[in-house]
Structure 1
Amino acid sequence: MKLKQRKISIYIGLIFGSILIGGVSRAQVIPPEYGQKIGDVVVSASLVGTELKDMTQNTSILTNEDIKNNPNQTIDQVLKNQSSVFLNDTPYYEKDVTGQSLNVRGLGTQRTLVLIDGVPANNAMYGTVEWNRAPLSAIEDVEFIRGGVSNLYGNMGMGGVINITTRQINENKGEASASYGSYGTGNVAASKEMALNDVLRLRVSADYFATDGYVVQSTISPATTYPNKKTTSVLSNQAAPLLPGIGPASANAANYRLDGSLKLNSDTDAFFKIGSHNFTNLSGPGYSFAPKTMQQTTFSTGVVTRLGSDHRVEANAFYENGNLWQQNVSNSPPASAYISSNYANPFSTVGASAKSIQKFNDFAIDEVMVGVDGRQVAAQNLTNSFSALSSTSNQPGTMHPLRTLKVSKSFMAL
């Protein structure tokens, strides 16, 4: 009698943490047979590259085709229809940039790690997700691992990890696309790939999204002039009219990226990615003179060397620097609305990792990974507050002193 050999995957993790304070998926269902063989799907979010059929955790893959066939225009709304994901029906561009949360399996809005090409997309200041950095035109696939992965990713992975991968550089080609819809909503995207030589290949890409007035104001408030009110008993329950200064909500987002792929030798590959990301919106209904703006610069690089058919070594590093600028508005009729405070929230994230992966194809242990991963997150809250308007001068008062809150977090996974 021949015994069937069982394989075991072993991963060991150790987390160190410190805090300093001062001043997608559809269910994994076997597809029907169409006489076609589907290749193995490798999950890179496992850090070692595990085939989907071998994943022990509930894992789903959204392919590029799945994303293209989805009617939603943003990746957060594609994900909201997946099991175990709690997202409301409001796309990220209609929400305050500090409120774009993600909740998986009910573990809270800051317990799921979102990665874009290995770079965390969780905001260092608020823990919210920077969905604007992942336009649909740039996405190759999305991996979604439900359940705790803290042994691999630290305390930000208690609910799971969503790994968004952008398209790889394949050959010399160019692409362009555009769309336009109601309320001035449009998308424009373009990219160009270039093989400079046998070692270096580049891709330059850009995309722009904009919408004007995704909130129909007439459905929120009757067309009356503030502060006139109808006082008859029949109409006493009418909604409040629009306050002065409130206008149609709008948003725009732009992403510019330079990707590079290097073939250093037959056993060593490397990459780098540089990105500039800008997002501005009037979360509606909002005051037309007080937009909120997020600006980010990202950089990531990595190298993988194969030391044999069953052994490889990887090293990666990333950096993000950004700033959130927003203004709060006060409105005390009959005086005009005015900006009551300015907020500047600069933040940064820097991290690096290295790991060695050894496969054991002829033993009970399938593979062993030994590695170290570290990340430093820093953010500041800089606030300028203004006094109330004078009822007669209709001008803002003096500015209060600057208030600063600094938050720094770091952790290491081994």
Structure 2
Amino acid sequence: MSIFEKARELAVINSAGAVIGWDQETYLPASAAKYRAEQLAWLSSRAHELVTSDGWRNDLESAEAGNNGADPRISANLRELRREFDRSAKLSTDLVARDSMASSLAKHAWADARKRSEFSTFAPHLQTLLDIAREKADLWGYADEAYDALLEGYERGTSTAAVASLFDKMRPAVREIAAKAVANSASHAPSLPAGPYPVAAQQEFNARVAESIGFDFDAGRIDTTTHPFCTTLGPRDVRLTTRYMESDFTSSLFGVLHEAGHGLYEQGLREDDFGLPSGSAVSLGIHESQSRLWENHVGRSRIFWEKWYPVAQGFFPQLAGFPLEKFLRYLWRAEFSQIRVEADEATYDLHILLRFGLERRMINGELAVADVPAAWNESFRDLFGFAPEDDTHGCLQDIHWSMGGLGYFATYTLGNINSAQLFAAANREPEIADAV
């Protein structure tokens, strides 16, 4: 069996894990959480045993030795498979299983803690995941600090120092832009007509929008969850999720546009390369550029709503007497939101600066888990001028830490930067407005 055939075999195992992982976040009964964690841990262990086996190593070395460099696609795949092997081989199967089990159990603990606004019930799970993250970082190795090894898993080639330097340069300008935008909005942003905006109507409207931008519903679907996400279960099987507020239909819509951006990227990858690096995303910073491009550069544009606002008025009768210009002022308002996924373009990156700083301190042992709520509130007050009303609106709002996703948040701001450059380049083409 060639290394490429083995990679496709690995993809089958990982796809099975993705299916039951998706179910865990959408339809799994609460009482089934423990056994689901065992299932995911078993699959993670089998996948790790395969990718670190002598057979995998031998086939990889054989392919590398026989590669003459004539086909750049083969060379690129071998380069990335080597990187993945070297990184995986540093971890034991036991550690991989513990990591999977801990994150599965932590997701349910987080959801319950978020509902109750009780960080203390999630704290032991976060401590376990933090200990595992440090253990993995030490095994992977790093140049300057442990956080480097975690960032490498999401945005390879970068470093904590490089990201911190970028964020430090951005911080004064982002704070100034945010403050001015919020002050300007305060005087003239209208309120959206009162709900309810029925969930069924939102679902139909969102599906029409997602389909119009190219999301293929024969190869995907949209479901409901606590925290929106996109996941790929296999070739031609991309799942989106969102959450609904009956007081504001735009909340679920922008969740769908964001996740559909991820979905379009996944559906655009080479189907016959599924399981190979060439059939995978190049980085999370690029992946997030696609979600943020569709959510903000397209989804908040005038030309987009000139087409879709009359359709929205048909779905939601209370918009009938609310003209497009007022709706756009509502849409373009800036405010210091407690919730990252509800934040506007002017204030969003402040949320990422906060999370990056706290994660870095946690990984480096400078911030104890028990002190996270207070540290969150202090940092939030410094950046936004007030403290969150409770842990649900503060340190418990995101699912990422419960997934063991320490190091992920920086990719959102990298995605914002990438999306702005990509959309600026696209706008040089005269037909782009019609395409939008």
Pick the TM interval, shorter chain.
Answer: under 0.3
TM-score (normalised: structure 1): 0.23
Bigger fraction of residues in helix: 2
Select the structure with the greater relative contact order (CA < 8 A; seq sep ≥ 6).
2
TM-score (normalised: structure 2): 0.22
Bigger fraction of residues in strand: 1
